[in-house]
Amino acid sequence: VHDHETAPTEASMTRTGNSEYYATHQATQKQIDFIETLLTEMANLGRKDDALDLFETLKNQAESNEFTMTQASIAITELKEKLKKLRVTKVEWPAVPTGRFAYQKSDDPDDVAFFHVVVKDNGFPLLWIYTPMEEIPVRGVPQKKAILQKIKDLGPFECELLFGQKIGKCSRCGTELTNPKSRAYGMGPDCRAK
Ligand SMILES: [Zn+2]
């Protein structure tokens, strides 16, 4: 259902008008609501910190009555530009949860690759190649996607199990697995309970 009466038009929101009126009057509620919508999208696209910073700045400006309609228009135009770029660079990451994973790289059962994944609140995954000595970050998007896709296809749970069994550390929290049962599960009792 289209509501032509009240829906704010693109033109009314982005009008930068030179007129004295826009420059001297405070931003309208419609403009502020629209900015909030844009900032929410920005946060959802993985820029939560930036969105919060901007929100704080604009809020302070508005509270001290220093946020004019012209400034709101400019802010909207800039935000829309940023969002355009963010939407393009948004990557669809294969759904793999935070944890430690392993998979066999060839038919040789000893040819196993180990990984550590931490998925941030915004859905962005951090990935390391795991060795008992060190964790080496994987930063390239295609490499990261390929590894996460493989874990997803093989089954994250199965890959966690293999990690715990091979490394002897809990695939969720990384603590040493001393008892044979935990080792068989690839996970400590506390993490299993969760
Ligand atoms: Zn654990």
The pLDDT, as a whole number, for residue 11 is 53
Using the mean position of ligand 1's atoms as its centre, give its distance from the Cα of residue 28 in Å: 52
Segment 100-122 mean pLDDT: 93
Residue 6 has pLDDT above 90, yes or no: no
| Predicted model pTM | 0.56
Percent of the chain with pLDDT over 70: 91
Using the mean position of ligand 1's atoms as its centre, give its distance from the Cα of residue 12 in Å: 55
- How far the first Cα of the chain sits from its last, in Å, is 44
Q: What angle do CA 45, 46, 48 make, to 5 degrees?
A: 110
Gap between the Cα atoms of 83 and 7, Å rounded: 21
Least Cα distance to 121 among 174, 41, 48 occurs for: 48
Segment 166-180 mean pLDDT: 92
The DSSP secondary-structure symbol of 98 reads: S
